[in-house]
Amino acid sequence: MNRTLSRCLPTALSALLALPAVAAAKPAPGGEVLRATLSNGLRVVIVRNTLAPVVTTEINYQVGSNEAPQGFPGSAHALEHMMFRGSKGLSREQLAQISAAMGGNYNADTTQTVTQYFFTAPAADLPVALHIEAIRMRGLELTAAGWAKERGAIEQEVSMDHSNPQYKFYAQLLAAMFKGTPYDHDALGTRASFDKTTAADLKRFHDQWYAPNNAILVIAGDVQPKAALAQVKALFGSIPKKPLPARPKVAFSPVQPETLKLPTDLPVGLVALSYRMPSLTSKDFAAAQILADVLGSQRGELFALVPQGKALFAGFQFQALPGAGLGFALGAFPKGGNAQALLDDMKGVLAATLKQGLPVDLIASAKRNEIASLEFNKNSISGLASAWSTALAFQDLDSPDAIKAAFEAVTPADVNRVAREVLDPAHAITAILTPEPSGKPISGKGFGGAESFASEPGKPVKLPVWAEKALAKIEVPPSAIHPVVKTLPNGLRLIIQPEAVSDTVSVYGAVRTSPDLQQPKGKDGVAAVMDGLFSYGTTSLDRLAFLKAMDDINATGQSFGTGFSIAVPAQHFERAVQLLADDELHPAFPAQAFEVVKRQTAQALAGQLQAPSYLFDRALIKALVPAQDPALREATPQSVMGLSLADIQAYHAQVLRPDLATIVVVGKVTPQEAERVVAQYFGSWKANGPKPTVDLPSIPANAASQAVVPDATAVQDTVLLSETIGVNLHDPAHYALNLGNQVLSGGTFASRLYHDLRVKAGLVYYVVANPDWHLTRSSFGIRFGCDPDKVSQARSLALRDLKAMQDTPVSPAELTRAKAQLMRSIPLGESSIGAIGGRMLYYAQHGLPPDTATVAARHYLALTAPEIQTAFKKWLDPARFATVIKGPAPK
């Protein structure tokens, strides 16, 4: 479950199926949107999108941490957790089994003013998702025992966030910026307040605020709107409305300037100049958003500090909330660098901006980009539901597109007026986050024996009739993805998937490369410096001209280097490919920029080599691979500073080659047009020399080991158990391990690890097991976070669950649930343009056919419980796990 920092029916079946009167349903122009308000006040919006046979339901309760009782700031967040622990007629176990069988894509988040619950599932399962939400709206089974377990999990979430210095900065910033109002804290809550919270408190909160007249239900996807509305009326219509409590009044006082100083475990330091900004519902929101876009533009003066060598990063960020907004200019400096000098430079830029006014061309560009971005909402079914929820529940708008008129009306005078009002240094809060050393990894001392927590893996759960019938059928779902695949004469592979859900085209590309194998000896870091130089323009367009060309076509999601991408309105597809090819094939690599990027890369590395997160990853690599393995190569400030511009140019010529490249085009374009355009601009790309080896050599099984990475800023341990496995991506054995892992982990509350470590024992907030498949070497790992004194217990339970997979076949119920989850997850992976493009690119880069998901599904359906047991016993060895812990102190 997330928080946005800012996510058999009971005997009353006949009542649920009653059809109450509703207000007239009003279709929007084009008939793709249906709106209704039920007689009990529930607002419903149904948005048809046929990208994939998938639907997202998102129910927005207009209550959050602002409405929490005094002294209990996390009440809304705690209730969000308890919504997954069962209701009358739907037990916790039933909810977990149903959610997993639907594909396992469900979650929730809590903000200051809204709590959201969402499911993304095959469109045929819409009635199941609606049943769940209607039952949970009616009431919960809030027991003291259930809350005691969930309190353990939520307190681990608190510890996880408080181990993040950036979160601690954010929390302190809220407290200072919105002092004395409900906005002075986020929705997380505190361990002390949760210790005082009772199940009765949470039931009271639900009874007060969870009502149809305090909710907005958004349904988006491949559904028939009228039929979907009929289902909503049947299930929600008889739920009575409630009188709602008074909401807290919010009265802001002027921001008092102060400076926050905190340590950070990042490899670089951060400075921020923070300001109170207009809210999501303010008449000045559109102007404030344009202001933030201009200040954050890479064509702007703040970012110019980066190519000038004065900052490792610089920009502006804006978080708008329903009642207030928060904006901050952010800059990064190297470890040991001069934070005050960077702050002074940023203050100077902002002062000059106020004096001179913001550039008119950047304002016009930001307006065009914001308006163009609205079309991209259609490129993801879950993203579309989120956009509608944001518009209705947070912004009090009629639709996501309703903001278009506000953006169109913004003038340069509006933007400069808002800038003068908010960028007042007399009401700014300054923050400095300084990198703090945490020490080197040390060997661990091992762990205690297994704990005596008996579990009942695979215990059958009788589902309600409405769910059992809907989820009984398990079959290979038809795929809507049938790409056209071409290979150009130069070896470039082109994959085209036409989609007409929006008037946009997205391009994704990658070159197979391995810096560990391809960087010349003594030139470690050349790949990183090269990647940093792609943003400095081409041989025909300098940095600013290239960025302007991107803005002129309303480009978004652009990236360059060995992985590259861009998304644009369909009318600009050809120009987008032209610019993409120009930067990939003809980067400028200016000499002056090279010196700046080289120095910045070396400075960042100096901090990275001491950062706990890097040391954590490094400790794991050392534990898994043999000495002298290429994966152990490491760039240093010295190796980077020894590079020449000629080294960069030679590496570019060596690595970027068409016969190792794939380009995927998804969107409103014909295969013929896509092939013509890509061939025109990438067809002249030539490979230099023989095709290199880019796959790391296979490695032997690792030995057991323990390592601890101190992290002085953390209050919680991050734990990873990992081992190499002798199965690769093309080995059929990986299907059995994948299917078995759905039982073990699977990312849902129905999995063994979640059940035992979180739901039953309350030891962790998250726990996940994953095989990491590659072509020549693979690994299997279990990761969780918990208090240091609970690591041994959680580790023992995790290993016990893994051992049980080897000792006993999974139960029929578990096998059925795992197969259902994997079958239903296939269309979910096709429910956004980004997911389609990413999937096609991954398949091509790993030598897999476009129908790999369907092929895998057939394997999963045929697998048996004994085959899973055999695979787990053969390929996994709990005694070989390397254990790496990052946390406040060795345990």
Residues 51-60 pLDDT 10s: 999 999 999 9
The Cα–Cα gap between 535 and 539 comes to: 12
The whole-number pLDDT of residue 713 equals 86
List alpha helices for 400-542, DSSP H.
403-409, 412-422, 465-471, 515-518, 526-533
What is the rounded distance in angstroms from the CA atom of residue 353 to the CA atom of residue 359? 9
Distance separating alpha carbons of residues 606 and 609, to the nearest angstrom: 6
pLDDT at residue 27 above 70?
Answer: no
The torsion of the CA quartet 706, 711, 717, 723, rounded to 10 degrees, works out to -30
The stretch 559-576 carries a mean pLDDT of 98
- Contact 121/748 with Cβ under 8 angstroms? no
Quick one: average pLDDT of 254-278? Answer: 94
Instruction: Say how far apart CA 64 and CA 81 lie, in whole Å.
Output: 13
**Residue 448 scores a pLDDT above 80:** no
- pLDDT more than 90, % of the chain: 85
pLDDT tens profile 735-787: 999 999 999 998 678 899 999 999 889 899 899 999 999 999 999 999 999 99
Burial annotation 36-74 (CB, 10 A radius, 16+ → b, else e): bbbebbbbbbbbbbbbbbbbbbbbbbbbbbbbbeeebbb
Cα distance from N-terminal residue to C-terminal residue, the chain: 28
- What are phi and psi for residue 138, nearest 5 degrees? -65, -35
Contacts of 104 (CB under 8 A, 6+ apart): 746, 747, 748, 821, 825
Question: Does 386 have pLDDT greater than 80?
Answer: yes
Q: Average pLDDT for residues 671-695, to the nearest whole number? A: 96
AA letter at 638 = Q
Rounded-to-integer distance, Cα 562 and Cα 263, Å: 34
pLDDT band at 453 (very low <50, low <70, confident <90, very high): very low
Cβ atoms 64, 248 nearer than 8 A:
no
Average model confidence (pLDDT) across the chain: 92
Please give the C-alpha separations between residue 15 and each of 216, 699, 763, in angstroms, as whole numbers: 21, 63, 40
Ramachandran class of 313: left when φ > 0, alpha when ψ lies in -120 to 50, beta otherwise: beta
In this predicted model, what pLDDT tens digit does every residue of 36-74 receive, in sequence order?
999 999 999 999 999 999 999 999 999 999 999 988 999
User: What kind and span of H or E run contains 129?
Assistant: helix 126-138
pLDDT digits (tens, 9 = 90+) for 492-520: 999 999 999 999 999 999 999 999 999 99
Neighbours of 505 (CB within 10 A): 27
457 band by pLDDT with thresholds 50, 70 and 90: very low
Q: Rounded CA gap, 506 and 380, in Å?
A: 12
**Alpha-carbon distance 384 to 373, whole Å?**
12
- Asked whether residue 445 carries a pLDDT value surpassing 80, the answer given is no
pLDDT band at 9 (very low <50, low <70, confident <90, very high): very low
* Backbone φ and ψ of 160, nearest 5°: -60, -45
pLDDT value at position 441?
A: 58
Read off the pTM: 0.92
Query: Which pLDDT does position 461 carry in this prediction?
Result: 84
Q: In angstroms, what CA-CA distances link 697 with 216, 690, 700, 773?
A: 54, 19, 10, 14
Q: What per-residue string of b and e applies to 520-545 under the rule 16 or more CB within 10 Å gives b?
A: eeebbbbbbbbbbbbbbbbeebebee
